[in-house]
Amino acid sequence: MRYMENKLDAVQYYQDHEDHGVRGCAENLGIGYSTLTKWLKDFRESGDIPVRG
């Protein structure tokens, strides 16, 4: 469950700091640019982020 919360926290962080851009937010969070981009896309499309497994 904590992993899912981390994803949502990352999306929320980006929404709160859009002026940093996706790349800047990803760097600040210590995650990959493509990872954050995918989470943002998933969230925009469904309002949630699917959990793998």
Domain boundaries, the chain: 2-10+20-46
Look at 35 and 3; give whichever has higher pLDDT.
Answer: 35
Contacts of 33 (CB under 8 A, 6+ apart): 22, 23, 26
Question: Among 25, 3, 23, which Cα is nearest to 14's?
Answer: 25
50: tokens are: 């699917």
Lowest mean pLDDT among 10-19, 22-31, 40-49: 40-49
Q: Give the pTM.
A: 0.81
User: Cα(51)–Cα(18) distance, rounded to whole angstroms?
Assistant: 24
8: tokens are: 């949502």
Q: What percent of the chain has pLDDT over 70?
A: 83
Q: With 50 as the cut, is the pLDDT of residue 35 above it? A: yes
pLDDT score recorded for residue 1: 39
**Average pLDDT along the chain:** 87
